[in-house]
Structure 1
């Protein structure tokens, strides 16, 4: 593997023999703990059996009601709308599968609400410790916080790195070093990275003591993509570090959060990885602000459910997490899948697979859903989000080949299956809506397309009530969870701001859902037909989508919407036309949606009006405020061409 070291790259950390002699949590001990041999603090067999029994009961408490609800909906649907021909059978089958999936989603939120009501009693001991004081460095370990990048905006990456360096200094985190691991092959972009690294080194030397070491390494051959980048670091530098905090180019984490993670790893020798929840923050387009609000509002209950039932069988999301380097390097190496891309070859969505391999080796993989101080950024417009979804779709469908691997835990297989099913459900939705519309036009009754709302009889009424409940419960429960707490309401700007924002978010979701579903369903189908997606660098800025780009990329949605509208007119059924009109209108206007929601001016206007506020607006962390202040500085000049010599000028000194 070829790498490009820079003059500043000499590591000051001790070698393995100097550092690991007195570790009470070395990799071998995890095996001692797992097998019960001396040397580890192991729960007795009875206690471990009780813990397993508790975990089993928690999982059954989620699975059984979800299965029962899905089965009840299927029985009611069959009773209210008996099968008449092949079309009726297809519509009924699709409806039952989709509502079973929605039932599972609804029960996750209800389960999460109940678990949240139990407070600390529903949390693991590790998570309870994550809420405590920030631990001081113990002197027993060293940690590398690594930012893996590939052709990113180097000015933005190093600006965030500077914020994290200051935060680490404030937290007294002398045991954490910062690394930028570049896979950039473009010479012009690499020149900017090197210039920014030189600037941050000069800043560190002039800023006084207490700042962490900052290192930069670039590979000239990015074998294995990000997974290979991280793996190469483990091989080359892993001897000097016990733990690694993995960050993406758009990640931000406070020094206090990093210190908490290190402390948790030191205290829990059986844990191989701890995943945090990084909330989206920091972007101003209307699309971004709606996303940031929605994730803050709706994610907590689902995450509480996830942590409660999975226990030590967690998953890895690829960034804003800490891992034990020796465990990761020894057990999480990825094979190349048999066959050709898109379903074969290099594993693209590698993080969840790496987490499953760690768990297979006996290491615990934990989630701390409520630990603050960790953020990321999301695509700032619909077009860029759909591009990311296409990439993620291919990566998740590759996991069909991973599911049968020997030795994987049942929970790990379920994590993989959920990712696969979340994409496979979308073509089923398109099929259900299309076939259901056809059936309704032929029979003159909405039937299952209307979820039983237009039906007669007890079965249809019960079906309508239960179906509407499973569709609406996730958002209603999340909203209620916030409303009952003055502290949580205040984080969203107060009751009025919360309610108005939630109503507007639902309206935006209704408008955007059709094109998002259509596009991603198309990605699923095209992946199975062999279309390979390029994994290029993501666009992370507040980008305004041009009208030409929106029409070019969403012309198929406009055409489909127009065909649907024409079909509704020809059908001559006013009830069906009224029911399906929002869907047709959303598809026809999808280019306008992309353009208008990509406006940063509209996004900033909503903030001024007190809409789509989150805790990152109402109680902003100093690190976020500092990063925003950095972004407000005059932008560097753009280079007219791609020569490395000119590219260095992109990174102008700060004002």
Structure 2
């Protein structure tokens, strides 16, 4: 490694000069008691301040769940008629049962989307003038975990500029809440924070805190902020590391919270932007077309018994502190331990206590990004799968509202649906195999005069298949129709022909990817049931491809299964092969599809043709343009590419500020021996130059030095073997 003063980048020397303000404001603590899932009394629920009529919500629920029940009943009856041409066997009854479970899932999704479609058709556009005053203070908090500072700090700075442009910026403070465990990323965050403060001045009110241990992960990160500094703020607006929100959106959320004394959480609907790989553009287009229909339907029937998605939402801080202290689940992971999908549970606990949780589905200006490839999505999905299946331990908690339990059931079923569809597919194959190869039983025990031979009604089966596909695709069709009806959105998406072509491309590719995702999610469910914990890895947020060897390793068994399924189906019956052909084709193409999904060139080629284009892509939001500009500028600083320990070695003022920002708990207690610290200390003792120790230290040993002022002092005392650093000294 070539060491020189140039490697530590601009704005590091003298970053802290003249800036002695603490990295965090004085603490103003709130108690956050751990809530019980087994004990609750109705007397603990607060009474609403405003008495609101709920008949519209009840009618919407009757439409969604009553309609879903009717559709499921009809589908089940038709499936029974399909298989009951002759005496019904055990396998046929099992097929009916699996079909009923799967069909009920898509039936409710259909009626909810239909409700959202009607609501959007009748909706008047525009939300009125922007509020001119606010009375409360809001903390805008961004939890980060081993993220690129060029991206996260650019997003937060762009949000700050947008909020300031509303004229109400004095009501908002900004917090970077770091749970970072990578030593280089930790120092990069501190350097970016100090440089940001220097550029914007003290009036910007930016703060930074690094937590020594990421106890309870993101939920623990937010809880730590609430308990230590939450008393300063009536509200907090929670972001993700890939979030963007306009100042207008943030001000409207804050004003809505101030105007509603019963609101505990108000959720916005984030749209996906800034995506360029093929897979990410598919998600971006689908979310833009179908997302508003689904979200509006949910918003109408959920009413004030809504849900929380963990980011791009405003929260009443004291209510959160009083009611959202999460308990650990008994037992070991994956079903025990701390709660992974904490947002659902936090919303459930606030709702139990009488606070309203709802979504403003038509509020513009809330954005996020998506995983760039199929493999990246599956890695994130594995963690979400474990978190949602954990909710089987929470759904029966005392005092929860019935709609809250339904939210948990929906989240659980969203992952169990994959193994259920897989089982239905297997039973269908077994039935065809039984019909084709197994001899009928001519002399049954009940002495019937005809053999027991499973048969099907092909005409009813075809009609039922068409009904199922229609219900499954309906939300996509509703979204496409809305975009075609709204002239400005249609034109911004490339015109009517391109919108239709883009929808067809999205439907076809999604259909091919569906069997791959089915197997991936089924595998995740089986692994969790076998007791395998997922852990918590940082997400890839860049537009980049994955090495082909990793793709082959990940999807080789999907391809083999597709090949075996195709050969077996063709040998059993041509009709079975044709019925299974979409699934077979998707699995056979798993490797090239996954490779293609992460390709930037494929996504950009469709972009040049005007396909899979969204209105936000045609006219990018000003905040997204500004965030991209700031990210390019931040990348030139090089903070994410430089050695953290070398930066501290070269810059005494940065080192001084780093020590000041250390948590008091980071300082080692006398007599405590930590393995990583002991190894780091031993290597410091053996080293003659800074180059020696930088080459020898492992990441955990670097962290041990970074959080120990005494070891930092020993590091600085080392000589350098390069003339550039000697000259700098």
Normalising to structure 1: TM-score of the pair? Answer: 0.87
Report how far residue 644 of structure 1 moved: 2.9
Say yes or no: does 1:113 pair with 2:117.
Answer: yes
Report how far residue 332 of structure 1 moved: 0.4
Unaligned runs of 5+ in 2: 1-15, 31-42, 438-455, 655-729
Give the counterpart of 1:73 among 75, 78, 83.
75
**1:308 and 1:629, CA in 2 relative to 1: closer, same or farther beyond 3 A?**
same
Partners of 1:390 and 1:533 in 2: CA distance: 7
Q: Which residue of 1 aligns with 2:194?
A: 198
Partners of 1:16 and 1:398 in 2: CA distance: 30
Q: Which whole-Å deviations, capped at 9, do the CAs of 1:216-273 have from their partners, x for residues lacking one?
A: 1111122121111111111111111111000011111111111111111111111111
**1:201 and 1:569, CA in 2 relative to 1: closer, same or farther beyond 3 A?**
same
Partners of 1:329 and 1:308 in 2: CA distance: 28
Counterpart secondary structure, 2:130: coil
Q: Which residue of 2 aligns with 1:625?
A: 625
Partners of 2:55 and 2:166 in 1: CA distance: 39
Partners of 2:491 and 2:353 in 1: CA distance: 44
Partners of 2:466 and 2:553 in 1: CA distance: 41
Give the counterpart of 1:9 among 18, 22, 28.
22
Partners of 1:146 and 1:64 in 2: CA distance: 40
Report how far residue 463 of structure 1 moved: 3.0
Q: Which residue of 1 aligns with 2:63?
A: 61
Q: Which whole-Å deviations, capped at 9, do the CAs of 1:145-173 have from their partners, x for residues lacking one?
A: 00001111122111111111211121122
Report how far residue 349 of structure 1 moved: 0.3
Say if 2:138 and 2:173, in contact at 8 Å, map to a contact too.
yes
Equivalenced residues, count:
600
**1:639 and 1:70, CA in 2 relative to 1: closer, same or farther beyond 3 A?**
closer
Report how far residue 569 of structure 1 moved: 3.8
Q: Which residue of 2 aligns with 1:241?
A: 233
Q: Which residue of 2 aligns with 1:142?
A: 137
Partners of 1:156 and 1:263 in 2: CA distance: 28
Report how far residue 384 of structure 1 moved: 0.5
The residue correspondences of 1:40-55 to structure 2 (distance < 5 A) are: 42-43=50-51, 48=52, 51-55=53-57
Alignment root-mean-square deviation, CA: 2.7
Say if 1:9 and 1:217, in contact at 8 Å, map to a contact too.
no
Q: Which residue of 2 aligns with 1:583?
A: 583
Partners of 1:14 and 1:534 in 2: CA distance: 31
Counterpart secondary structure, 1:146: strand
Say if 2:235 and 2:316, in contact at 8 Å, map to a contact too.
yes
Report how far residue 212 of structure 1 moved: 3.2
**1:221 and 1:33, CA in 2 relative to 1: closer, same or farther beyond 3 A?**
closer
Q: Which whole-Å deviations, capped at 9, do the CAs of 1:360-383 have from their partners, x for residues lacking one?
A: 111111100111111111101000
Say yes or no: does 1:90 pair with 2:94.
Answer: yes
Max Rg structure: 2
**1:505 and 1:636, CA in 2 relative to 1: closer, same or farther beyond 3 A?**
farther
The residue correspondences of 1:23-34 to structure 2 (distance < 5 A) are: none
Counterpart secondary structure, 1:522: helix
Normalising to structure 2: TM-score of the pair? Answer: 0.78
Partners of 1:76 and 1:16 in 2: CA distance: 60
Say if 1:547 and 1:592, in contact at 8 Å, map to a contact too.
no
Q: Which residue of 1 aligns with 2:374?
A: 382
Specify which structure has the bigger relative contact order, considering alpha-carbon pairs within 8 angstroms and separated by 6 or more residues.
Answer: 2
Partners of 1:395 and 1:348 in 2: CA distance: 5
Moved more, 464-473 or 512-521: 464-473
The residue correspondences of 1:595-634 to structure 2 (distance < 5 A) are: 595-632=595-632
Counterpart secondary structure, 1:471: helix
Say if 1:545 and 1:594, in contact at 8 Å, map to a contact too.
no
Partners of 1:15 and 1:90 in 2: CA distance: 59
Report how far residue 52 of structure 1 moved: 2.9
Counterpart secondary structure, 1:333: coil
Give the counterpart of 1:188 among 162, 184, 201.
184
Say yes or no: does 1:333 pair with 2:345.
Answer: no
**1:636 and 1:648, CA in 2 relative to 1: closer, same or farther beyond 3 A?**
farther
**1:195 and 1:285, CA in 2 relative to 1: closer, same or farther beyond 3 A?**
same
